[in-house]
A and B are shown apart, each in its own frame.
Chain A
């Protein structure tokens, strides 16, 4: 069976659902798109959080996360989309205090089997922060 490749966006303009815990924000995609039972979707969400070392925030909600944790959860939510092409929109707007792209690349590397491709979009004047990625 073939599936269409789907865009899954990570952006500060697409916040986490604040009345749901972190794991529910992630599992929601599987539950809704694939009609996956809650228990199974929960296990997948927890396993995904473990990949990023974020299992300790599974039962927290959006307002109590720091920027790095929030980015991790938004990224995991995006990669839950089946055959996802992840689009990261202005990553430094999600974690403004970072000066280099390394954290984002390291995070993406940890879950590279979860998605097909990833595109990062940002303004031209931010290219300094991208180092060798913008020759």
Chain B
């Protein structure tokens, strides 16, 4: 195969992969908007998924958020003071850390913990014949198994990212007082003046898109496993690489929307 052929082959497989994911995402999205999808069985799975993804992770997430968030805020505030840009700390906090860093940090954590778990779970179910069992008992796999996981991904990302932002803002109270000598009232005032409604909407939308693809891609990858055990690690590693690529693409697209 010549170099040009290799490029062509890569481009075709990339295009196929994109088409496949978007087609699958479209099916999931359509089911999410259908009332019939929300059966008693589906709601049970949804509650369990939210518990496993958002509630079980809370202690670790809070500790990591407090440590990482506080250090970050401290360093950024220190840097701003050093550069003589003290008056811009509200803009930096809201525009960069809360709306950009929180969703990114949260999606990485959720992908590492839940995305990989979902990918493996679906691949194992496929290999074990459990997906076939559900189909034999006339249980719609998309409604029962997949949609709850995707809704959970969206909800978890939005909620945990918001929590991370709240932790950052509380850390900001402490550090703004230590570094800039600003009181709580002045700090709140600066934050409110710096908050841009459209930025917050974009950040929440980005969280939802992150959550959607951070679950849809591992699910699709898990379903691509064959009936052999050896296909599980291949499906999981392929799925995780695709998720990280998707995260980067979404991040870049959101930055472009911010530019204009």
Instruction: Say yes or no for A38: interface residue by CB 8 A criterion.
Output: yes
Contact A32 B139 (CB under 8 A): yes
Within 8 A of B (CB), among A24-42: 24, 28-29, 31-33, 35-38, 41
B221 to chain A, nearest CB (A): 18
Within 8 A of B (CB), among A74-117: 77, 81
Would A31 and B40 be within 8 Å (CB), given that A15-B129, A19-B121 are in contact?
yes
Instruction: Say yes or no for A8: interface residue by CB 8 A criterion.
Output: yes
Q: CB within 8 A of A17: which of B39, B44, B130, B138?
A: B130
Contact A13 B138 (CB under 8 A): no
Instruction: Say yes or no for B210: interface residue by CB 8 A criterion.
Output: no
Within 8 A of B (CB), among A41-91: 41, 77, 81
B151 to chain A, nearest CB (A): 17
Total contacting residues, chain B, CB less than 8 A: 20
Residues of B within 8 A of A19 (CB): 121, 125
**Which of B40, B125, B139 has the most A CB atoms < 10 Å from its CB?**
B40
Contact A32 B39 (CB under 8 A): yes
Would A17 and B137 be within 8 Å (CB), given that A31-B39, A38-B40, A41-B40 are in contact?
no
* Total number of residue pairs linking A and B with CB closer than 8 Å: 52
Within 8 A of A (CB), among B135-177: 136-139, 144
Residues of A within 8 A of B121 (CB): 19
Instruction: Say yes or no for B134: interface residue by CB 8 A criterion.
Output: yes
Q: CB within 8 A of B41: which of A9, A28, A77?
A: A28
Residues of A within 8 A of B39 (CB): 31-32, 35
- Interface of B toward A, CB cutoff 8 Å: 39-44, 121, 124-125, 128-130, 132-134, 136-139, 144
- Interface of A toward B, CB cutoff 8 Å: 6, 8-9, 13-19, 24, 28-29, 31-33, 35-38, 41, 77, 81
Q: Report 26 cross-chain contacts, Cβ distance below 8 Å, ordered by A residue.
A: A13-B129, A13-B132, A14-B129, A14-B133, A14-B136, A14-B137, A15-B128, A15-B130, A16-B133, A17-B125, A17-B133, A18-B125, A18-B128, A18-B130, A19-B121, A28-B41, A28-B139, A31-B40, A31-B44, A32-B137, A32-B139, A32-B144, A35-B40, A37-B40, A38-B44, A77-B137
